[in-house]
Each structure stands twice: as C-alpha cells, then as structure tokens.
C-alpha cells in the first residue's frame, strides 16, 4: 500500500493528512481545542465532559464494590499518534498493514477528540486480564449510563482488533456530533455483509472503493463523504 509521508526534523514519519484517504476503520478526527481539555494526572488529558462523566463512573464502580479502572491514555495529538504508530510499525516490527489493525493513522484516532480513554485495572486488581475482570463486566452493563461505550468489540466492523481497554464518551451533544458517522456505520452495516466488510476492513485508501461504495451503499458513501 502507499502512503504519502515525509520525515520531519525529529526523524518522525509524518503522514499526509490532507489527502482523502479516509479508511473506514479510521475515520478522520480533529485535534480537540486545548481549552476544552482538563488534565487528570500523569499528563493525561481528557475533554472536560468525558472527564466529569468518568469520575462519576469511577465513583459508581467503587460504590458497587468493583475495582474502579484507571485511565492510562486520554487525549493524543497528531504528533503523539504518529510516534505511537511508528513505535508499532518499526520498533515492534508489525509493518504498516498489521499496525493499522491496532493503531489509527495520525489524524484518524478517537483519542484526538479527548473523548476516548484507554483503561487498565488498578495495581491491586491487575493480576487478571481486564477482559475477564469484574470491572470489565461492570462496564459492559453500566458504562452506557455514563455515556461510555466500547469502540472495538470482538469482530467489530472496523477491522480493528478487540480492544477491551478502549472506551469512548458519547454522552454529550459535542461528542455525538463528532462520532455521528461512526454511529451511522454501526447502525447500517450488517456485519454479515461480506462485500461491505471487505471494503471496510481493507486498509487501502477509501477513494479506491468510491465507485463501488457509491453504487452499492449510497447512504454510507454519503455519510463518509461528509464526515
């Protein structure tokens, strides 16, 4: 696959974000304006609405006797995303295609919005896996009340690996607007539709599929076009 990219002064590969190579699994997101972000701790920043909701959710977990989960990642700039992408692609030797199944290209991560969190179990409960923990079970049944949902469930339509740690806040008008295309895809795509899934899960630029998409799935095509 081809990417247009340049190497910046720090030796980081910078992907060209101006081309229209939207990938289904990686919709495009703007970096959230700094004045909307609040710092939690350890250099973790979140959109204020998500931070407030997360606090309420943590309290509820505590009240219900399960270990409240800890945020290990919140807001990420394009630059930091590029560094993360390169870490997996080069240092971990995954290559571009495999990296795309677990790290979004800079410009395409929900973390840019400040509404997404990566969570982990607290130290005292960290023996087990997050996905098998009571905390995770609790989140599956209650997180939606606080506006949080899992972005990448098992066998998700976006061609991204199962990410039980990645949750996104969809509980205010601003976040709902940002994630409206994503919601539309989830509502309209039948996961058993192989033709469509092949397009979605492909890591080739979307424009390569524009014609086919326009003819077979006009509603989805127009949603993506305006995203």
Q: Known catalytic residues?
A: 163
Beta carbons of 121 and 70 less than 8 angstroms apart: yes
CB neighbourhood size of 155 (10 A): 9
CB neighbourhood size of 34 (10 A): 9
Helix 134-142 crosses helix 48-63 at what angle (to 10 degrees)?
A: 120
Query: Residue 213 Cβ, how far from Zn ion at the closest point, in Å?
Result: 27
Distances in Å between the alpha carbon of 56 and those of 21, 53, 74, 188?
A: 38, 5, 17, 31
Give me the residues that bind Zn ion (CB under 5 A), please: 118, 166
Is the CB of 24 or the CB of 152 nearer to Zn ion?
152
Is the CB of 112 or the CB of 166 nearer to Zn ion?
166
Query: Residue 218 Cβ, how far from Zn ion at the closest point, in Å?
Result: 31
Is the CB of 26 or the CB of 166 nearer to Zn ion?
166
Query: Residue 118 Cβ, how far from Zn ion at the closest point, in Å?
Result: 4
Structure tokens at 38: 């609040």
């Amino acid at each position: 696959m081809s990417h247009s990219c340049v190497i910046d002064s720090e030796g980081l590969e910078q992907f060209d974000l101006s081309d229209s190579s939207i990938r289904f699994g990686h919709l495009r997101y703007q970096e959230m304006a700094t004045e909307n972000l609040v710092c939690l701790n350890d250099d973790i920043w979140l959109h204020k609405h998500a931070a407030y909701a997360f606090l309420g959710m943590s309290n509820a977990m505590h009240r219900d006797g399960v270990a409240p989960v800890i945020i290990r990642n919140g807001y990420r700039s394009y630059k930091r995303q590029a560094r993360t992408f390169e870490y997996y692609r080069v240092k971990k030797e995954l290559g571009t295609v495999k990296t795309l199944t677990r790290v979004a290209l800079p410009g395409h991560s929900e973390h840019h919005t400040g509404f997404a969190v990566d969570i982990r179990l607290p130290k005292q409960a960290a023996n087990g896996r997050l996905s098998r923990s009571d905390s995770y079970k609790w989140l599956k049944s209650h997180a939606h009340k606080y506006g949080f949902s899992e972005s990448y469930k098992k066998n998700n339509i976006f061609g991204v690996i199962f990410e039980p740690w990645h949750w996104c806040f969809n509980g205010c008008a601003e976040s709902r607007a940002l994630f409206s295309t994503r919601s539309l895809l989830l509502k309209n795509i039948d996961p058993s539709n192989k033709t469509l899934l092949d397009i979605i899960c492909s890591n080739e630029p979307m424009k390569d599929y524009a014609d086919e998409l326009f003819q077979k799935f006009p509603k989805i095509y127009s949603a993506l076009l305006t995203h």
